[in-house]
Amino acid sequence: MNDNQMQSLGEQAVDVLRTIFDPEIPVDIYELGLIYDVQVSEDADIHILMTLTSPNCPVAETLPVEVQEKVRSLPDAKEVEVEITFDPPWTKDMMSEAARLELGML
């Protein structure tokens, strides 16, 4: 897989992430700033580094699985790994301007 294909697959993964919503906040997880990194390897493996709004988030068990399954559904994706981190911990400052605007925080 060349650099353009890797970039395209990464963009497709981000498009999928924008369809997944946090159940407590009506904004997608990408705009919320829960996705820290999306890496695509030359073998079309995708590694997603993400966080949750809190360690006690009610979807701590299901959200990473949903992310993995939806990104894995991309035709060109091979292995998809979702890694959860709380370093740095998520804050509202990580939300995009669009997310803050949508939630009336601007």
Paired with 49 in beta bridges are 37, 83
* Residue owning tokens 């370093």: 87
Say what percent of the chain tops pLDDT 70: 100
Token pair 């995009």 is at which residue? Answer: 96
Helix, coil or strand: residue 21: strand
Domain residue extents for the chain: 3-102
pLDDT digit string, tens, across residues 7-58: 999 999 999 999 999 887 889 999 999 999 999 999 999 999 999 988 888 8
pTM above 0.75, yes or no: yes
CATH superfamily of 3-102: Fe-S cluster assembly (FSCA) (3.30.300.130)
Distance between CA 82 and CA 76 in Å, rounded?
17
Strand spans (E) along the chain:
35-40, 46-50, 80-84
